[in-house]
Chains A and B, each alone.
Chain A
Amino acid sequence: KAGVTQTPRYLIKTRGQQVTLSCSPISGHRSVSWYQQTPGQGLQFLFEYFSETQRNKGNFPGRFSGRQFSNSRSEMNVSTLELGDSALYLCASSLVVHSSSPLHFGNGTRLTVT
């Protein structure tokens, strides 16, 4: 069974630009979550989607947005990039949204903002 696929693996952008990251979940998984990982802040929750609906959102500015499509694939968009947005962005999928359902992560997209 294929794992979670994130594209691209690496991105270099300039301040002020926008970026879109893509995530394909494990087949059959209907929940997708996004996390930002930085050395200083660790892993921070961005959002979670289930069946195309955003279920939960972390404490990030409105420049960070996401969506989920009918095939469960998800995209995350960051507009007006800032230097502080440089991070590893991890996508994860799970069968259901439940406290017992583990998240399965992709390899991440490493975003560098210059």
Chain B
Amino acid sequence: AQKITQTQPGMFVQEKEAVTLDCTYDTSDPSYGLFWYKQPSSGEMIFLIYQGSYDQQNATEGRYSLNFQKARKSANLVISASQLGDSAMYFCAMRVPGANSKLTFGKGITLSVRP
């Protein structure tokens, strides 16, 4: 079974600073995909970034980067130059291949950006 752990309580960051949101995962499958999503108060889940288990380099998408440490089973999201609009819930998720695969989510982390 797959498991995603996000244990940070609410996070606060000053506008224009960088912030790291932690995510650890557990799976016995050597092949998997890791995803981060953002959910503003409006409710929509917005896909941010993807990292494959066999990817040699950390994924980056604009101000988002994924600090992938495979041996430690961690996939932390780094947001650079925080903006007020980054205030939201952030979810880490994982999917493994197979007939019964599904996207498994962590509990999420609330990020508040202070002006």
Bound together, the chains give a CA A33 to CA B103 distance in angstroms of: 9
Count of residues in B whose CB is under 8 Å from the partner chain: 27
Indicate which residue in B44, B95, B103 contacts A108 across the interface (CB closer than 8 Å): B44
The A contact surface, by secondary structure, is strand
The CA of A42 and the CA of B104, in the complex, are separated in Å by 11
CB-CB under 8 A for A42 and B105, given A99-B96, A105-B44: yes
Interface presence of A13 (CB below 8 A): no
Q: How many of chain A's residues have a CB under 8 angstroms from any CB in B?
A: 25
Give 12 A-B pairs besides A102-B47, A103-B47 with Cβ atoms closer than 8 angstroms.
A33-B103, A55-B99, A58-B102, A88-B43, A98-B33, A99-B33, A99-B95, A100-B50, A101-B33, A105-B44, A107-B43, A108-B45
Using a CB–CB cutoff of 8 Å, the interface residues on chain B facing chain A are: 31-33, 35, 37, 42-47, 50, 52, 91, 95-97, 99-108
Residue pairs across A and B with Cβ atoms less than 8 A apart, 26 shown, are: A33-B102, A43-B91, A45-B103, A55-B99, A56-B100, A56-B101, A90-B43, A92-B45, A92-B103, A97-B101, A99-B32, A99-B52, A99-B95, A99-B96, A99-B97, A100-B33, A102-B47, A102-B50, A103-B35, A103-B47, A103-B103, A106-B44, A107-B42, A107-B43, A108-B45, A110-B43
